[in-house]
Amino acid sequence: MWSNLSTDAGGNDLNVLIVEDEVVARKALAALLKGKGYSARAFESAELALQRIKEGERPEVALVDLDLPGMNGAEFITRLAALQPWVFSVLITAASQERVAAVLKQGTPHLRKPLDFQELLKVLDSRSRSH
Domain contains 3: no
Domain contains 125: yes
* CB 47, CB 70: distance < 8 Å: yes
Which secondary structure element, helix H or strand E, spans residue 14, and what is its range? Answer: none
pLDDT of residue 1: 39
Domain contains 46: yes
Domain contains 6: no
Q: Over 90: is that where the pLDDT of 127 sits?
A: no
Domain contains 31: yes
Domain contains 2: no
Closest CA to 114 of 43, 10, 22, 1: 22
pLDDT of residue 7: 33
pLDDT of residue 107: 74
What does the pLDDT average to over 24-35? 96
pLDDT of residue 41: 96
What mean pLDDT is reported for the chain?
86
Structural domains in the chain (count): 1
* CB 68, CB 40: distance < 8 Å: no
Which residue segment(s) compose the domain that 67 sits in? 12-129
**pLDDT tens by residue, 31-90:** 999 999 999 999 999 999 999 999 999 999 999 999 999 999 989 999 999 999 999 999
Q: What is the CATH number of the domain that holds 32?
A: 3.40.50.2300
pLDDT of residue 109: 85
Domain contains 43: yes
pLDDT of residue 62: 97
Q: DSSP letter at 95?
A: S
Q: What is the dihedral of CA 28, 38, 67, 82, to 10 degrees?
A: 160
